[in-house]
């Protein structure tokens, strides 16, 4: 039987607990990613979507669920607002933030190689090196789907910040 939305949320909460509770995730709550969606909410959406895709494609025996959820939650752990005026420092954000997210995540968490690689290369094919693991491809695909939805969502015309699959803002 396919996982329900509630079951997916519970899995993300369970496997992502250490990350979701970290003090630096508070930075993501005040940085906007696409439209009115915060980086925190975006990361949870991506994590939920990776689990949904893995479930619907029956990939349970081929993915490490714990690493998949942690990589998805940390894929945009760059910890700054890329819209902020910064004298051009974030001009290359699209190309550089995977590496920044990976370095920040390594500083704050103990990551395995699947998590490191999936975070660092999630912007493929914008960045040249593809993910090495299936978990990385799921993060990359879920990120693109979520980003497209958030960018073109009607939500962006309303100043609401409740759009997340787990009570994130
Ligand atoms: Fe990203
Ligand atoms: Fe993202």
pLDDT tens track for 106-153: 999 999 999 999 999 999 999 999 999 999 999 999 999 999 988 887
Question: How many other CB atoms sit within 10 Å of the CB of residue 150?
Answer: 20
Contact 115, 67 (CB under 8 A): yes
**Which of the ligands is closest to the CA of residue 150?**
2
Q: pLDDT category, 87, cuts 50, 70, 90?
A: low
Instruction: Measure 101 CA to ligand 1 centroid, in angstroms.
Output: 8
Q: pLDDT category, 9, cuts 50, 70, 90?
A: very high
Instruction: Measure 87 CA to ligand 1 centroid, in angstroms.
Output: 21
Q: Is 8 left (phi over 0), alpha (psi -120 to 50) or beta?
A: alpha
pLDDT score for 78: 94
48-61: average pLDDT: 97
Give the HSE-up count for residue 74: Cα atoms under 13 Å, Cβ half-sphere. 38
pLDDT score for 82: 83
**Ion ligand 1 contact residues with beta carbon within 5 A:** 76
Instruction: Measure 98 CA to ligand 2 centroid, in angstroms.
Output: 9
Instruction: Measure 74 CA to ligand 2 centroid, in angstroms.
Output: 9
pLDDT score for 164: 44
**Which of the ligands is closest to the CA of residue 139?**
2
Instruction: Measure 97 CA to ligand 2 centroid, in angstroms.
Output: 10
**Which of the ligands is closest to the CA of residue 143?**
2
Q: pLDDT category, 84, cuts 50, 70, 90?
A: confident
**Which of the ligands is closest to the CA of residue 148?**
2
Contact 165, 73 (CB under 8 A): no
Instruction: Measure 94 CA to ligand 1 centroid, in angstroms.
Output: 7
Q: pLDDT category, 168, cuts 50, 70, 90?
A: very low
Give the mean pLDDT of the chain. 90
Q: CA-CA-CA-CA torsion for 136, 141, 145, 150, nearest 10 degrees?
A: 20
Q: pLDDT category, 167, cuts 50, 70, 90?
A: very low
Describe the crossing of helices 5-15 and 65-74 by its angle, rounded to 10 degrees.
80
Instruction: Measure 33 CA to ligand 1 centroid, in angstroms.
Output: 9
């Amino acid at each position: 039987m396919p996982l329900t939305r509630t079951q997916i949320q519970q899995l993300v909460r369970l496997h992502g607990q250490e990350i979701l509770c970290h003090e630096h995730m508070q930075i993501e709550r005040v940085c906007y990613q696409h439209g009115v969606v915060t980086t925190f909410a975006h990361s949870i959406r991506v994590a939920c979507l990776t689990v949904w895709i893995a479930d619907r494609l029956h990939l349970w025996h081929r993915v490490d669920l714990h690493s998949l959820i942690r990589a998805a939650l940390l894929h945009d752990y760059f910890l700054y607002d890329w819209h902020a005026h910064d004298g051009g420092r974030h001009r290359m954000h699209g190309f550089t933030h995977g590496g920044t997210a990976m370095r920040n995540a390594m500083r704050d968490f103990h990551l395995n190689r699947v998590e490191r690689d999936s975070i660092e290369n999630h912007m493929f094919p914008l960045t040249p090196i593809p993910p090495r693991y299936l978990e990385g491809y799921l993060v990359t695909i879920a990120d693109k789907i979520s980003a497209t939805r958030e960018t073109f969502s009607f939500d962006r015309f309303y100043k609401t910040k409740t759009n997340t699959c787990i009570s994130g803002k």
